[in-house]
Amino acid sequence: MLNIYSGLEMTAAETLDAKRFTWKSKCDERQIEGMEAIRTKALEMYHMIIQCSPNCADRASAVRYLRLAVMQANVAIACENIEKDDKV
């Protein structure tokens, strides 16, 4: 754990992760369209999971993972400009 007593410094990767964690995204129209497309397809997949799977813990888990995948994909899209700015 990084603290004032450790003498450790943040690596470049950890610094980039901190920027991703605290991003203030100003998504452009293309990014918003991509996020909406992902959510639309995920909703189709959600309905397929519900229709084809029995009501059990595994189905609930599949829905949770689908939700997580959508959120992570949206973060990746939103952070696209941040990563480009860091490479410049």
Residue 30 C-alpha from the chain's centroid: 17
The answer, yes or no, to whether residue 83 has pLDDT greater than 70, is: no
pTM check: above 0.95? no
Domain range annotation of the chain:
25-87
> Do residues 31 and 82 touch, judged by C-beta distance below 8 A?
no
Summarised one tens digit per residue, pLDDT across range 49-80 is: 999 999 999 999 999 999 999 999 998 888 87
Give the residue among 27, 40, 31, 33 at the shortest CA–CA distance from 66. Answer: 40
- Integer distance in angstroms from the first to the last C-alpha of the chain? 30
Q: What is the DSSP letter of 53?
A: S
The answer, yes or no, to whether residue 8 has pLDDT greater than 90, is: no
Rounded (5°) CA angle 21-25-31: 115
